Amino acid sequence: MKFFVDTAEIADIRELAEAGLIDGVTTNPSLIAKSGRDFREVVAEICKETDGPVSAEVTALDAPGMIREGKSLLEIGKNIAVKVPLTLEGLKACRALTGEGHMVNVTLCFNANQALLAAKAGASFISPFLGRLDDNGIDGMELVEEIRQIYDNFGFDTEIIAASVRTINHVKYAALAGCDIATVPPAILKSLVKHPLTDKGIEQFMADWKKTGQKIL
């Protein structure tokens, strides 16, 4: 499974990229606003930090507007994936942009029928929102499993991105369910490496090494 980092904070992206932990970046208007910086400037800087897809979201609600905005976003970097909402207008824009060979991430997916339509429209990526479904008493992971089965049944190439990831278990179960990608906030991505027994083991090794009075260098 590939990892995208869900943020507009350059320092976090750079740190995780240097560790080889990310395969792309997802952003949205809320994340860009939180950064307090110019939208295009931030997106351009992110595109330089990773060779993988960088999702940048349109704000228009009609298909012609989304297409115009999408083409403008594509000028920012060669690895831009235009992010459009899962609406009929969004699917029209998706079809037009992917038809020209561009990457499109169809976002705000909340059921399997929506995911099926996005794949039919040629979406490069589909983003089911796990955390938001869980917040409303619906099993987000069940949706991922349904999408995986549908895509496998019909040979769709659309990659499934587990989005709205809130916990490390979301990541684990998304991987088990066959998600192609998880887009994860930096804090959660960093926490995946942690385990108290790992820390305890390092502490014991260091204590034993200290007793030897030796140095490696």
Task: Enumerate the active-site residues.
Answer: 83
Among the listed residues 64, 145, 154, 66, the one whose alpha carbon sits nearest the alpha carbon of residue 105: 66
The angle formed by the CA atoms of residues 53, 28 and 82, to the nearest 5 degrees, is 45
- C-alpha to C-alpha distance for 170 and 172, rounded to whole angstroms: 6
**Cα 191 from Cα 64, distance rounded (Å):** 41
Quick one: DSSP state of residue 137? T
Query: Residue 4 pairs with which residues in a beta bridge?
Result: 24, 183
Spatial separation of the C-alpha atoms in residues 124 and 180, rounded to whole Å: 12
- β-strands 103-109, 125-128 pairing: parallel
For residues 158 and 126, the answer to whether their CB atoms sit within 8 Å is yes
Can you tell me which residue has the tokens 């350059």? 10
